[in-house]
Amino acid sequence: MKICVLNGSPKGKYSITLQTVLYLQNKYPSCNFEILNVGQKIKAYEKDMKEALDAIDNAEMLLFCYPVYTFIAPYQLHRFIELLKASGVDLSDKFACQISTSKHFYDVTAHGYIRENCLDMGMKYLDGLSADMDDLLCEKGRADAIAFWDYILYCAENNLYKTLSDKEITAPTEYVASLAEAQKSNSFDTVIVTNCMQNDNSLLAMIADFQTAYPYKTRIVNIAEYPFAGGCLGCFNCAVNGKCIYRDNFDTFLREDIQSANAIVYAFTIKDHSMGASFKQYDDRQFCNGHRTVTMGMPMGYIINGDYESEANLRLIIEGRCEVGHNFLAGCATDKDGIVMLSKKLEYALEHKYTRPQNFLGVGGMKIFRDLIYLMRGLMKADHKFYKKHGIYDFPQKKLGTILKIQLLGLLVTNPKIKAKMGNKMNEGMIAPYKKVIEKEKNRDIE
């Protein structure tokens, strides 16, 4: 695949974000990456866009690469997008994706900005990677980058992308019927959790379409039929051992019948701008898990009957829930094409154990919980034990080596003479560890 990388960093080749692209370029020799430093050369492109437009015309995918600056992409990339739109170039046959690096402060709005502009220009949008600045320096971060690019290539190959209407496109709807007679596999346990009533024919049909398209056997749990004794009372009785004060056995039912699955698909009809009161009761009663992300790593999907695109708050809630729980959101299907999309993405996630790094919603949410549980560990004993076991207490004051390095750097740059002598060495020093990782991978591949 031919990829045109639009590097929006004003630092050009010294961009930390670009190092992830260079790492992928080394790992995927079958992909042809052409890099344009559009952020650094924005003044030149304001005078003449020919070089950029020629490279874009030759590409199959545009990969936006940038650091997050103040809630969104840098000014220079903003300006380039303005120029790109003004050029009138037809990009409707191009895939679009993005890679950002940051400390996850409002990376979601930066990604939203790029996504919306790609859709404005008619491109076939694929969800991007929001990485921490230091991710490439650790084994997990490198594995996340590789898993992400494998997933992107899979989506491009299977035409799993979004268009301007935010409608997900995939193979023709007839694909649903073609799988109707296929033998279902027991390899993965997928539970469909719904509050569907018997007269909700639209939602029932959507669930049936998903079961037909999905290659694995499914089971349905209808929470509207569960004998709840009541809603959560906020009594904290479950804080110590996870047992609810109610005697309706919901905590056991939740863990054994739902959370034991390999994947969960929620199916509901929008009511009063939410999933409905019965789902809210179900969600609140999950506080028997406290603030423990007990299903992290599990892929999830949604089958939604209603005008989901107009429900911005509900969309934020669903994405936020998956991000805080560190669950891969395989999709929110609102029609037959979306159902096939959800089926294929969920299948991929299960077979490849695919997850992606958390964005601002997940990272920010867990930092709040981290500090809360640490302060309240004397009461929330089950949460405290879980957070210790999973290394969630990642307080920055523990990173003494990094603190000392930054203090030393601060002393150096505050001295005008030393700063003048440093010149561009600071930028070179910042990307040196990343270059070392890339060179190490190159040598390993040669061997």
Residue 207 domain-assigned (yes or no): yes
pLDDT(178) > 50: no
CA 196, chain centre distance (Å): 28
Task: State how many domains the chain has.
Answer: 3
In this prediction, residues 244-254 reach a mean pLDDT of 94
CA 286, chain centre distance (Å): 23
3-state secondary structure of 325: coil
The rounded distance, in Å, linking the Cα atoms of 312 and 205 is: 25
pLDDT of residue 1: 95
Give 119's pLDDT tier (boundaries 50, 70, 90).
very high
Say which residue the tokens 């409608």 belong to: 167
Residue 374 domain-assigned (yes or no): no
In this prediction, residues 305-325 reach a mean pLDDT of 95
Q: Where are the extended beta strands (E) located within 211-334? A: 216-222, 263-269, 300-305, 329-333
3-state secondary structure of 67: strand
Query: 352 and 403: one domain?
Result: no
Query: 202 and 85: one domain?
Result: no
> Pairing state of beta strands 161-162 and 168-169?
antiparallel
> Pairing state of beta strands 185-194 and 263-269?
parallel
> What are the two backbone dihedrals, phi and then psi, of residue 103, each rounded to the nearest 5 degrees?
-100, 25
Query: 156 and 174: one domain?
Result: no
Apex CA 332: angle with CA 94 and CA 188, to 5°? 105
Query: 153 and 194: one domain?
Result: no
Query: 177 and 29: one domain?
Result: no
pLDDT(377) > 80: yes
Complete DSSP assignment for 115-154: HHHHHHTT-EE---EEEETTGGGSHHHHHHHHHHHHHHHH
Residue 393 domain-assigned (yes or no): no
pLDDT(318) > 90: yes
Residue 372 domain-assigned (yes or no): no
Task: Please name which of 18, 123, 33, 132 lies closest in space to residue 81, comparing C-alpha atoms.
Answer: 123
Query: 151 and 193: one domain?
Result: no
Query: 153 and 185: one domain?
Result: no
Q: Residue 156 is part of which domain span?
A: 2-162
Query: 283 and 218: one domain?
Result: yes
What one-letter code names the amino acid at 297? Answer: G
Task: Kindly give the interhelix angle for 360-375 and 312-324, rounded to the nearest 10 degrees.
Answer: 60
3-state secondary structure of 269: strand
Alpha helices (H) along 158-253: 174-178, 201-213, 250-253
> Pairing state of beta strands 129-132 and 32-36?
unpaired
Question: Mean pLDDT for the chain?
Answer: 91
Segment (H or E) for 199: none
Residue 238 near residue 287, CB atoms below 8 Å: yes
Residue 197 domain-assigned (yes or no): yes
pLDDT(173) > 60: no
Tens digit of each residue's pLDDT (9 = 90 or more) over 322-375 = 999 999 999 999 999 999 999 999 999 999 999 999 999 999 999 999 999 999
Tens digit of each residue's pLDDT (9 = 90 or more) over 186-202 = 999 999 999 998 889 99
pLDDT(100) > 70: yes
The rounded distance, in Å, linking the Cα atoms of 48 and 42 is: 10
Domain end marker among 162, 195, 211? 162
Instruction: Give the domain CATH number at 133.
Output: 3.40.50.360
Query: 224 and 154: one domain?
Result: no
In this prediction, residues 111-132 reach a mean pLDDT of 95
Query: 15 and 151: one domain?
Result: yes
Say which residue the tokens 């009161």 belong to: 277
How much is the pTM?
0.88
Residue 376 domain-assigned (yes or no): no
What one-letter code names the amino acid at 82? Answer: E
Helix, strand counts (H, E) of the chain? 17, 13
Domain end marker among 363, 385, 409? 363
Say which residue the tokens 């939740």 belong to: 254
Measured between alpha carbons, how far is residue 350 from residues 209, 301, 339 in Å?
20, 12, 16
Give 446's pLDDT tier (boundaries 50, 70, 90).
low
Residue 391 domain-assigned (yes or no): no
Tens digit of each residue's pLDDT (9 = 90 or more) over 41-86 = 999 999 999 999 999 999 999 999 999 999 999 999 999 999 999 9
Domain end marker among 337, 363, 389? 363
For 141, the token pair is 């971060």
